[in-house]
Structure 1
Amino acid sequence: MGTHFRRTGLLLVLAAVVAACDSDADLGQVSAASVSEVAAKAGDPDCTQEEPFTPFDTIDGDNPIVMQNGRVIELRASNKSKCAWGRISSGQPGEEIWTDRKDPTANEHEGPLGHTRIDSGTAKFTEAFKNDGRVMRACGSVQGVVECTGWF
């Protein structure tokens, strides 16, 4: 990717953040999700959400998952920072998202990490956490029902 394209992309993201700060209007699912992902603070030191992707090759489950009520729970990752985070979309305020982390050979996991709720709009991201040779998954809770992606 050329330097010009990266600078243009950064300027567009910054413009969206400024517009969000200056407006009380609902940004909508796609715009709010894009701004949230870029603006989220790191859960672990040196974690960034740069060059995000959705890992589809997971262990013991799918990623993303669509819950029965249409909510989408997704694990996002960055090869650049070796970090991952969770995202809930098509949701409503009060619905929750978090990530879990474990050694691939262990039965027990560490979590919930970055537990958060949708406070407005329809999407929310957790903070990013280091993989460090471990596997991670995203989990969401909607109306008391908890579902998780596969481990990646």
Structure 2
Amino acid sequence: MSKVILITGGARSGKSALAERHMRSFPGAPVYIATAEIRDDEMAQRVALHRARRGPEWRQIDAPLDVVGALRDSDGAGPRLLDCLTLWLTNLMLGGHDWEAAGRVLAQCLSTQSAPVILVTNEVGAGIVPESALGRAFRDAAGLLNQRIAAISDEVYLAVSGLPMKVKP
């Protein structure tokens, strides 16, 4: 049985770096499942910084929509880091996909994995109420998706100022 770990936190809370460090506790070559799509220079710079920090030993799979396929295809190839659920949710919502069904399928898939999976997600419920209907729908969807994945996770951490707070043993 694999281990599923969820790491959440606010913007720039250090959650990705914490997840990368946590990956070192698992044997095998690390696999990074990226949900981000590079659409501008600023995002390209962010991705380059993340890649440089991880190093060349990481194998990367780009999966802006099909994270379940990426998890299934990479199971047994080493521990996986899926970064991040909220970007995946954004891709689903903006593409008109059924994010609730996709979240159910992801939760089911995670329970069948043989290799460890760490998932990174943003905690969006502690901020201000978004002004637009789309922003409120996203905040609500992210909260529900995070709850679903936290419920099936073996461990959950909240990143605060680069420090992990374990909220589910």
**TM-score, with normalisation over the residues of structure 2?**
0.22
**TM-score, with normalisation over the residues of structure 1?**
0.24
Which has the larger share of helix?
A: 2
Which has the larger share of strand?
A: 1
Higher relative contact order (CA 8 A, sep 6+): 2
